């Protein structure tokens, strides 16, 4: 799957930044490798580390794992819809409202980690089945024109971003 060009996604700080985080030219390989990185890193965390907040109002690593999974579900759904030619604009979401509603801290860490693994494996299988033509389809999500492949790259870059935050702010 080719890396998206600048005309395939909104030119805002989030899309550009996340897509630029992916060094690997094969996004499926990046998603596969990052799955193992995330699982191994999260398995290595102590209970204290899983629930640590570096600042009041910030998510714990436990909650961040839920956020990563929710975001992948949403972006994956958007990529599927757009790859299949959906013409309706897909809704946006407020990550903080979703996080509050999910109550991730009340879900066992093991369950969240398993959900992450299953969602990632499903995403890899789905995205691997997309043709280049399908990934280049442009649709609308959150009021912005975006290609299916840009959303796939966003998933990978969003995760890389949160891994950096986890290492820099939580595991110091």
In CATH terms, 6-170 corresponds, of 1.20.120.450, 2.60.40.1120, 2.40.50.140, 3.30.460.10, to: 1.20.120.450
Domain ranges for the chain: 6-170
For residue 14, what pLDDT is reported?
Answer: 87
Single out the residue of 146, 150, 144, 130 nearest to residue 84, CA to CA. 130
Query: Nearest-5° angle of CA 50, CA 51, CA 52?
Result: 100
- Confidence at residue 124, expressed as pLDDT on a 0 to 100 scale: 98
pTM score: 0.95
Provide the 3-class DSSP secondary structure of residue 90: strand
Write down the pLDDT at residue 13. Answer: 82
Q: What is the pLDDT, as a whole number, of residue 24?
A: 76
What DSSP letter does each residue of 94-148 carry, written as one string? Answer: -HHHHHHHHTGGGS-HHHHHHHHHHHHHHHHHHHHH--HHHHT-EEEETTEEEEH
In this structure, what token pair is assigned to residue 92?
Answer: 């946006």
Q: Give how far the C-alpha of residue 39 lies from the chain's centroid of Cα atoms, to the nearest Å.
A: 14
Per-residue pLDDT of the chain (172 residues; tens, 9 = 90+): 999 999 999 988 888 999 999 987 899 999 999 999 999 999 999 999 999 999 999 999 999 999 999 999 999 999 999 999 999 999 999 999 999 999 999 999 999 999 999 999 999 999 999 999 999 999 999 999 999 999 999 999 999 999 999 999 999 8
């Amino acid at each position: 799957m080719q890396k998206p060009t600048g005309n395939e996604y909104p030119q805002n700080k989030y899309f550009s930044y996340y897509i630029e985080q992916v060094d690997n030219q094969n996004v499926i390989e990046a998603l596969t490798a990052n799955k193992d990185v995330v699982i191994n890193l999260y398995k290595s965390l102590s209970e204290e580390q899983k629930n640590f907040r570096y600042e009041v109002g910030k998510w714990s690593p436990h909650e961040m794992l839920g956020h990563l999974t929710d975001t992948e579900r949403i972006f994956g759904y958007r990529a599927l819809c757009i790859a299949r030619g959906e013409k309706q604009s897909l809704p946006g979401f407020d990550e903080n409202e979703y996080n509050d509603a999910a109550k991730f801290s009340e879900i066992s860490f093991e369950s969240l980690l398993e959900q992450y693994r299953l969602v990632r494996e499903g995403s890899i299988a789905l995205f691997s089945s997309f043709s280049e033509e399908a990934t280049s389809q442009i649709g609308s999500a959150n009021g912005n024109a975006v290609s299916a492949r840009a959303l796939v790259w966003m998933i990978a870059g969003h995760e890389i971003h949160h891994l950096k935050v986890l290492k820099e702010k939580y595991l110091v």
